[in-house]
């Protein structure tokens, strides 16, 4: 069996009396889309934040490409190849879409301590950045400030940024949120192809997308993983139906 790209073991995180993450373990295997579902407040975003390094877990380990990254900050994890999109899109609002992606290209190429050469005429930045925008279908909007993009376009831009980083695993936090049905379908097709490039840990409320994409699904309730399995296993798991679908109904 192949080594997991990302391996989370017994993660714990409390906010005061609230146990937001209660002993979560899960793995992300090469080439798979692993969906993380659960009712609101189950701790999905908290988990993503701990994996990406926004905040530290109280205990437990996170291994990425065989290396323990629990002690690294967000920037260091990103440099190792952990790309993420945010639940609430997080962009440099005044910069154009192109410049947002260029920032990722620049980071991927190495040092940002270059003080003189203008970036806008630097083909080694604009070229790859434009290519990424084309891949997500945003090329026509490249020169608009991020603040002027639609909600769905910002999601696409976040994904273009993660692509530009050459990430070895993606963490996508509700990439479909706020997208129309057409946008969701297009994004679903896109993510389907993306898994060949790098595995995806996908937090998503859009169940059509989850069932269409996921190789495995983990169900998170009250900070615990109550089940992990294939789409069919999860659909038929009585505990999931009770805890998750029961609540959602």
Partner 1 sequence: MTKAPFMTRETVVNTILALLLLGFPLAAQTMGEPFYITLATRIAILALAAVGLNIALGLGGLVSFGHAAFFGIGGYAAGILATHAFDGVPLLAGIPGTASMLVIWLVALIVCGLVALPIGAISLRTTGVYFIMITLAFAQMIYYFAVSWPAYGGEDGLSIYVRNEFPGVNTAQPLPYFLICYALLMAALGLFWLLRGSRFGAALQAARQNATRLAAVGIAPFNIRLVAFIISAMVTGVAGALFADLNKFVSPSMLSWHMSGELIVLIILGGKGRLFGPVAGAMLYVLIEYALGGITERWQFFLGLILLGVVLFARGGLLGLLAGKARHG
Nearer to partner 1, 85 or 188 (CB): 85
For partner 1, the binding residues (CB under 8 A) are 52-54, 73-76, 78-79, 84, 86, 90-96, 99-100, 102-104, 106-108, 111-120, 125-126, 143, 145, 161, 165
- 198, 169 in Cβ contact below 8 A? yes
HSE-CB of 237 using CA atoms within 13 angstroms? 17
Nearer to partner 1, 168 or 185 (CB): 168
Distance CA 93, CA 182 (A): 25
SS3 content of the chain, % helix, strand, coil (to 5): 40, 25, 35
Nearer to partner 1, 40 or 121 (CB): 121
CB within 8 Å of 21: residues ≥ 6 apart: 11, 12, 13, 43, 46, 47, 50, 57, 223
Nearer to partner 1, 22 or 173 (CB): 173
Query: CB 164 → partner 1: shortest distance, Å?
Result: 8
Distance CA 224, CA 25 (A): 9
Query: CB 54 → partner 1: shortest distance, Å?
Result: 7
As given in the structure block, the two tokens for residue 79 are 């440099």
Distance CA 207, CA 132 (A): 27
Nearer to partner 1, 151 or 242 (CB): 151
Task: Determine if residue 46 is left, alpha or beta; phi over 0 gives left, psi from -120 to 50 gives alpha, anything else beta.
Answer: alpha
- 164, 130 in Cβ contact below 8 A? no
Nearer to partner 1, 74 or 226 (CB): 74
Query: CB 242 → partner 1: shortest distance, Å?
Result: 37
Query: CB 199 → partner 1: shortest distance, Å?
Result: 18
Query: CB 169 → partner 1: shortest distance, Å?
Result: 14
Q: At what angle do helices 151-164 and 123-136 cross, to 10 degrees?
A: 130
Query: CB 48 → partner 1: shortest distance, Å?
Result: 12
Nearer to partner 1, 159 or 214 (CB): 159
String of DSSP letters for 210-229 = HHHH-SEEEEEETTEEEEEE
Query: CB 113 → partner 1: shortest distance, Å?
Result: 6
């Amino acid at each position: 069996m192949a080594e997991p790209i990302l391996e989370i073991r017994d993660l714990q995180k409390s906010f005061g009396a609230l146990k937001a993450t209660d002993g979560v373990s899960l793995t992300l295997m090469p080439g798979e889309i692993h969906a993380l579902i659960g009712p609101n407040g189950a701790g999905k975003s908290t988990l993503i934040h701990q994996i990406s390094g926004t905040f530290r877990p109280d205990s437990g380990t996170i291994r990425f490409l065989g290396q323990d990254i629990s002690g690294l900050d967000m920037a260091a994890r990103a440099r190792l190849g952990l790309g993420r999109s945010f639940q609430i899109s997080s962009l440099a609002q005044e910069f154009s879409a192109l410049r947002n992606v260029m920032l990722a290209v620049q980071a991927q190429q190495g040092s940002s301590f270059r003080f003189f050469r203008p970036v806008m005429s630097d083909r080694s930045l604009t070229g790859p950045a434009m290519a990424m925008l084309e891949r997500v279908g945003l090329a026509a909007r490249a020169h608009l400030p991020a603040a002027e993009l639609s909600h769905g376009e910002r999601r696409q831009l976040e994904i273009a940024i993660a692509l530009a980083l050459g990430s070895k695993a993606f963490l996508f936090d509700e990439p479909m949120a706020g997208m129309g049905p057409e946008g969701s379908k297009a994004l679903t097709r896109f993510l389907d192809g993306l898994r060949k490039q790098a595995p995806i840990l996908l937090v998503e409320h859009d169940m059509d997308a989850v069932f269409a994409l996921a190789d495995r699904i983990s169900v998170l309730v009250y900070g615990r993983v109550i089940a992990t399995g294939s789409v069919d296993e999860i659909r038929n798991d009585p505990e999931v139906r009770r805890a998750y679908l029961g609540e959602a109904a």
